A = this chain, B = another copy of it.
Amino acid sequence: MNTPSPVSAATLEALRHVSTATVTTQLMGHGLRNTYLQGVLPLNPAQTRMVGEAFTLRYIPSREDIDVLSIFQDYDHPQRRAIESVGADTILVIDARGQTRSACLGRILALRLLRCGGAGIVTDGSVRDSPGFLTLDLPTFAAGVSATTVLGQHHAVDMQVPIGCAGVAVYPGDIIVGDGEGVACIPRHLAAEVADAAVRQEHLEEFVVSRIEAGEALRGIYPPNEQTLADYQRWAEQHPLASGTPDAGTS
């Protein structure tokens, strides 16, 4: 079910224009109630929009005799290898078991990931050098900040395995979407369908909002009844979906 079926550039582009709120609503329509990574907030408020494939990294608790400062002499340490492996349009998702007392990584590794073309970072743990992330052009979402190095609480053990992050299942290749509200995870096989429906939902909501702003009551408008849907169709003719959004006929 997670065979790496291709996800088109159009799908990724469409997802860049919809909110995580819309995405999770669409996923709930597919019976998936748990797709938003609760409690994972952006470090740079000006850099929250991200879309990409999940590249997973898994941490377990550190052990004092293994996790010593010298381990990073090994450039093939999983944490370092993961950073170097993240490609374009890919988002590093770290399972830190929700433990925030030590950081998962700091600004130097994030900078390298940015240079590698990575599209973002998500962790249910902490980052360090957090003031440096405030000005980094890389969407980064974490559950906390901590000055303490990864060794204090974490041991990077493997990558590209299915993980849990912030209470949500994340499989390698799933499509991660971030905005100012946080992060949602779309199972890969649903990405095209969700992207298309999300774009259409937001187009309709744009119309609904215009009516609410004009002072109309919720009744008949939100959700729209048949009359409102008909009004929307007319409005949509003059406010077509932006180009760059997926063609429903082909996606």
Query: A interface vs B, CB < 8 Å?
Result: 1, 19-21, 23-25, 28-36, 38-39, 48, 60-66, 69, 72-73, 75, 80, 83-84, 97-98, 100-101, 103, 106, 108-109, 111-112, 115, 128-131, 134, 144-149, 151-152, 155, 157-158, 161-164, 167-169, 179-182, 184, 187, 205, 208-209, 212-213, 215, 217-220, 222-223
Contacts and interface: CB of A to CB of B under 8 A. Distances in A.
Given A32-B63, A130-B181, A157-B161, 13 more contacts: A32-B65, A34-B64, A38-B100, A38-B101, A60-B163, A66-B169, A73-B223, A75-B219, A75-B220, A83-B218, A101-B167, A129-B181, A130-B180
Interface-central residue, A72, A131, A168, A187, by most chain B CB under 10 Å:
A131
16 contacts: A21-B149, A25-B69, A28-B148, A33-B64, A35-B148, A36-B146, A61-B168, A63-B169, A84-B219, A97-B98, A111-B212, A112-B212, A112-B217, A112-B222, A145-B182, A146-B181
Copies of this chain, whole number: 6
B31 A64 contact: yes
Contact of A34 (B61, B108, B129): B61
Contacts of A168: 61
B61 A169 contact: yes
B182 A36 contact: no
Contacts of A215: 115
A161 B134 CA distance: 36
A116 to B, nearest CB: 9
A97 B125 CA distance: 13
A215 B29 CA distance: 44
A162 B32 contact: no
A150 B144 CA distance: 25
Contact of A217 (B48, B84, B205): B84
Contacts of A20: 147
Interface-central residue, A69, A103, A146, A215, by most chain B CB under 10 Å:
A146
